[in-house]
């Protein structure tokens, strides 16, 4: 990473921390009785975010949620404000990793025991969140993955072939089989959130699952279903999907040799 990139990262992180502090001072509501925080990263999700928030409020009113608006250039922020959402407003588009790390810091600072990573695009179904929580508590799991493929076979698409290869590579590196390593529907306990709090090199990607397994954290999976994106466009084109898989493979090999 270049010096300029490092400077940009730390400036961004500092700005987000200041905004979090200001949110607290300005009365951003936090329920001390809630043990689970649902974190919703959102970038240009104006077509989906209202449906996602409405469904969360209807299905899981016992849990708090927060939208991490990642520098959206559309109406995502104004929609969330109109809906009265708790919001972390990133100053620029920082990407999933910085947004996730920021949400993890927020969860730790506000005393949450678990945090759920939840997509803004409507693919994730909130009715499964209590199932993830039950799995985390009953099996003392540090991470619970909502898996599409625990009891269902993967199709033969290019993306699923890549997912199979990631599963095999994680098994080779850690001895643990993860059926759906690319699932973005996950629950993390406080111990894992603290790792994200203090280690800026961790990301919410498959390679971090390998790191946590090698460090002795317990990872469990529950079978879920996911929907198609409910609006907007995915940034993962076929070419980007291939690039993503290649990057994950390379990162997993780095995990093997340097972590």
Q: Determine which helix (DSSP H) or strand (DSSP E) holds 30, and give its type and residue range.
A: none
Candidates 3.90.550.10, 3.90.1170.50, 3.90.1150.220, 3.65.10.10; correct CATH number of 3-258? 3.90.550.10
Q: Determine which helix (DSSP H) or strand (DSSP E) holds 53, and give its type and residue range.
A: helix 49-59
| Cβ pair 143, 187 in contact under 8 A | yes
Count the Cβ atoms, other than its own, within 10 Å of residue 76.
25
Measured distance CA(119)–CA(170) in Å, rounded: 24
CA nearest 63: which of 41, 30, 36? Answer: 36
Measured distance CA(40)–CA(53) in Å, rounded: 9
User: CA dist 69 to 23, 35, 40, 106, 144, Å?
Assistant: 14, 22, 8, 14, 24
The domain segmentation of the chain, as residue ranges, is 3-258
Measured distance CA(141)–CA(42) in Å, rounded: 27
Q: Write out the E strands in 4-97.
A: 36-42, 64-69, 87-89
Measured distance CA(80)–CA(174) in Å, rounded: 40
pLDDT of residue 258: 66
Give the pair of three-digit tokens for residue 110: 């506000």
Local confidence pLDDT in tens for the 259 residues of the chain: 443 444 444 444 444 444 444 444 444 444 444 499 999 999 999 999 999 999 999 999 999 999 999 999 999 999 999 999 999 999 999 999 999 999 999 999 999 999 999 999 999 999 999 999 999 999 999 999 999 999 887 666 666 788 888 999 999 999 999 999 999 999 999 999 999 999 998 999 999 999 999 999 999 999 999 998 766 665 555 676 677 778 887 888 876 666 6
pLDDT of residue 188: 99
Measured distance CA(197)–CA(51) in Å, rounded: 30
């Amino acid at each position: 990473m270049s010096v300029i990139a490092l400077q940009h990262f730390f400036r961004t992180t500092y700005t987000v921390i200041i905004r979090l502090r200001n949110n607290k001072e300005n009365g951003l509501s936090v329920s001390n009785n809630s043990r689970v925080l649902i974190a919703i990263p959102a970038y240009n999700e104006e077509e989906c975010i209202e449906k996602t928030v409405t469904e969360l409020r209807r299905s899981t009113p016992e849990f708090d949620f927060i939208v991490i608006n990642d520098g959206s250039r559309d109406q995502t922020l104004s929609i969330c404000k109109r809906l009265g959402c708790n919001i972390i407003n990133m100053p620029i588009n920082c990407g999933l990793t910085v947004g996730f790390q920021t949400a993890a810091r927020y969860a730790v600072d506000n005393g949450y025991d678990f945090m759920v990573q939840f997509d803004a695009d409507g693919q994730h179904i909130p009715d499964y969140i209590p199932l993830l929580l039950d799995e985390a508590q009953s099996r003392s799991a540090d991470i619970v993955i909502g898996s599409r493929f625990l009891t269902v076979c993967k199709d033969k698409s290019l993306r699923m072939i890549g997912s199979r290869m990631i599963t095999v590579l994680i098994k080779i590196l850690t001895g643990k089989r993860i059926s759906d390593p690319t699932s973005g529907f996950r629950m993390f306990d406080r111990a894992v959130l603290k790792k994200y709090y203090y280690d800026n090199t961790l990301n919410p990607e498959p390679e971090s699952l390998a790191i946590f397994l090698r460090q002795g954290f317990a990872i469990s999976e529950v079978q879920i279903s996911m929907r198609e994106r409910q609006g907007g466009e995915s940034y993962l084109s076929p070419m980007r999907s291939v690039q993503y898989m290649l990057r994950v493979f390379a990162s997993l090999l780095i995990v093997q040799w340097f972590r």
